[in-house]
Homo-oligomer: A and B are copies of this chain.
Amino acid sequence: MARRYDHSREEIRSMALDAAEAIVAAEGYKGLSARKVAAAIEYTVGTLYLVFENLNDLVLQVNGRTLDALFERMAAVSGPADSPRKRLLALADAYIAYAKAETPRWNTLFEFVAENGNSLPDWYLVKLSKVFGLAETALEPLSDRRQALEVQQAARVLWASVHGICMLKIRQRMDLAGGQSTEAMAGMLIDNFLRGFAAASHGDQQTE
């Protein structure tokens, strides 16, 4: 049995990604294997290696799709008419909602990363930047009174923080949150950070 040509390379590629996403959603990152993906699309392992460099590559593509989905969901709630605070809260809620709804997929985003020596391809970094960019865009109106770089840095600090809160809650189901919901924690973060950010004029220093 060879030379079937039922599907083009591109078709096989997307079938494999679909199958991999389904397996991850059902069994998590750990449950994913080349043999399972191959079986699901009714090809054999060898074929997968014609289309993907290796399993890491496949997972990276899956994560790329996840980042796209995340971006879509977040972009949909970010109305330009709203205040920075409202936009950030909406973005955080959307992020948290996605992480809760698609926990295995979201987890895979981070369970994977550390493996290949910390070097991610450019196309992946671009997708990541797009997600971060939403927070930056939301904060942009503040650039009147503040240096643009500082606002950008604030957006990234805030977004990394929202992610940290989300991580804490979802990964370890901890009672370390003091009884707050993920959304409430993110809200507390955003409110206090923005209040502090607005209060400080550029160059201010706290001394104690």
Report A's interface with B, CB cutoff 8 A. Answer: 28-30, 83, 85-86, 107, 110-111, 113-115, 118-120, 125, 128-129, 132, 149, 152-154, 156-158, 160-165, 167-168, 171-180, 185, 188-189, 191-197, 199-200, 206, 208
Q: List 9 A-B contacts (CB under 8 A).
A: A128-B174, A160-B165, A160-B177, A191-B206, A192-B192, A192-B196, A194-B196, A194-B206, A195-B197
- Given A171-B113, A208-B86, A157:B118 Cβ within 8 A: no
Q: B174–A125 contact, CB under 8 A? A: yes
Q: How many copies does the complex hold?
A: 2
Give Cα A197–Cα B125 distance, bound, in whole angstroms.
34
Q: A132–B185 contact, CB under 8 A? A: no
- Specify which of A114, A149, A157, A188 lies most central, judged by the most chain B CB atoms within 10 Å of its CB: A157
- Given A156-B185, A160-B185, A199:B206 Cβ within 8 A: no
* A47 → chain B closest CB, angstroms: 26
Give Cα A86–Cα B119 distance, bound, in whole angstroms.
35
Q: A178–B192 contact, CB under 8 A? A: no
Partner of A178, one of B149, B164, B175, B199: B149
* A155 → chain B closest CB, angstroms: 8
Q: Which 7 A-B pairs have the closest CB atoms?
A: A164-B164, A195-B196, A161-B161, A196-B196, A192-B196, A160-B168, A153-B178
Q: B114–A176 contact, CB under 8 A? A: no
- Specify which of A28, A178, A191 lies most central, judged by the most chain B CB atoms within 10 Å of its CB: A178
Give Cα A167–Cα B199 distance, bound, in whole angstroms.
28
Q: B161–A189 contact, CB under 8 A? A: yes
Q: A107–B114 contact, CB under 8 A? A: yes
Partner of A113, one of B29, B154, B172: B172
- Given A115-B30, A167-B160, A195:B200 Cβ within 8 A: yes
Give Cα A195–Cα B177 distance, bound, in whole angstroms.
21
Give Cα A60–Cα B107 distance, bound, in whole angstroms.
19
Give Cα A149–Cα B188 distance, bound, in whole angstroms.
13
